[in-house]
Amino acid sequence: AAKTKGKNRYHCFDSQIEKHIIQREQRLDRIQKAIRAGELVLYYQPKVNMATGEVIGLEALVRWLHPEHGLLPPGDFLPLIEGHSLSIELGDWVIAQALEQLDHWYKQGLELSVSVNVSNMQLEHDRFVEKLRTQLGYYNNLPNSLLQLEILETGALENTNFVSATMNECRQMGLQFALDDFGTAYSSLSHLKKLPAAYLKIDRGFVKDILVDADDRAILEGVISLANAFQMKLIAEGIESVEHGTALLQLGCQLAQGYAIARPMPAADIAEWLRTWKQPAAWRQATVSTAK
């Protein structure tokens, strides 16, 4: 009897794993189908200089326009494909799509820069540079400098020599880099020195409590001097209120992105947003008073 029981237990265990594997396969198939059927869309979120009111660029953020579940954020499907070859396929699609949009705006006379998020797997893929070169080659008139690549601090720190070589090749093509979610990994300053990124994006986790938390303000001040020391430009993420922006300006950080400026939006809404956006008066005043 014990033997049968044991056998059953194994059987049960096996079938659960099997169920899991099948479920995962089905989800991956569904995402692959979504990429190929054109169900993914890029939304764009503006980045501005709070001190001058100038729009410095847009970040492309992927969404899944699911026929049954509606608009899904990347957190609902990117984790499922992390480390899987589908993340390369998705990444290629994102770059192709962003370039097509960039070229479209450029031809209309909108000289906007667009940044795309590049996953660690994508960045470490041996054909990354070659594929990028091919994709850029389709747009002869478009300045490559309008495309920016946002790479995760974790990715940049894992394989520093390979990654910095890749970054240098891209830079030779005119592309610029931003280190995304800065501050969330164990960054080593000696590694940071090897990474030719023009921008540091400080994670919104450090920004959200600056109005109430003196420690977070101190961390921000540290990151601002770090960025200055490395001659990198700092972009603060997650500016959810005008007051957050004002506080950042007072600390010396001018570039920002967040809901208080604009939420990510479809490409078709960008021109209208550019026409109507105004720098908040408080930011103008904060800039004048810190300049004195």
Which residue sits closest to ligand C2E, CB atoms considered?
258
Of residues 94 through 123, those in contact with Mg ion by CB under 5 A are: 117
- Pick one of 42, 150, 156, 254: the residue that binds Mg ion (CB under 5 A): 150
Tally of CB atoms within 10 A around 163:
21
Strands 255-256 and 147-152, bridge-based pairing: unpaired
CB-nearer residue toward ligand C2E: 8 or 199:
199
Q: Which does 258 bind (CB under 5 to 8 A by kind): ligand C2E, Mg ion, none?
A: ligand C2E
- Using CB under 5 A, pick the residue from 112, 120, 148, 180 that binds Mg ion: 180
Residue list 237-266, contact with Mg ion (CB under 5 A): 237
> Could you tell me the sign of the dihedral formed by the alpha carbons of 271, 273, 277, 283, in that order?
negative
| Residue 271 beta carbon to ligand C2E: minimum distance, rounded to whole angstroms | 20
Residue 127 C-alpha from the chain's centroid: 21
235's enclosing H/E stretch is: strand 233-236
| Structural contact between residues 144 and 116, judged by C-beta atoms closer than 8 angstroms | no
CB of residue 111 vs Mg ion: minimum separation in angstroms?
21
Residues in the chain: 292
The yes or no reply on residue 181 touching Mg ion (CB under 5 A) is yes
Question: Tokens 């980045």 map to which residue?
Answer: 47
Distance CA 197, CA 149 (A): 9
Tell me: does residue 62 bind ligand C2E (CB under 6 A).
yes
The CB-nearest residue to Mg ion is 150
Contact letters for ligand C2E, residues 112-141 (x by CB under 6 A) = -----x-x----------------------
- d(CA 45, CA 67) in angstroms, rounded, equals 24
What is the x/- site pattern for ligand C2E, positions 193-232, by CB under 6 A? -----------x----------------------------
The count of C-alpha atoms lying within 13 angstroms of the C-alpha of 244, restricted to the half-sphere facing its C-beta, is 22
Q: What is the DSSP string of 214-272?
A: HHHHHHHHHHHHHHHHTT-EEEE----SHHHHHHHHHHT--EE-STTT---EEGGGHHH
Please list the alpha-helical segments (H only) found in 108-159. Answer: 120-123, 128-137, 153-158
Backbone phi, psi, residue 118, to 5°: -115, 125
The three-point CA angle 62-45-288 to 5° equals: 160
The binder of ligand C2E chosen from 2, 4, 17, 75 (CB under 6 A): 75
Stretch that binds ligand C2E, among 26-34, 68-76, 247-255, 270-278 (CB under 6 A): 68-76
- Inter-residue contact 284 to 245 (CB < 8 Å): no
Out of 248, 253, 258, 279, the residue judged to bind ligand C2E by CB under 6 A: 258
Q: Would you count residue 74 as binding ligand C2E (CB under 6 A)? A: yes
Residues touching ligand C2E, count (CB under 6 A): 23
Q: Which residues bind Mg ion (CB under 5 A)?
A: 117, 150, 180-181, 237
Q: Which residues bind ligand C2E (CB under 6 A)?
A: 45, 61-62, 73-75, 78, 91, 94, 117, 119, 150, 180-181, 204, 237-240, 257-259, 264
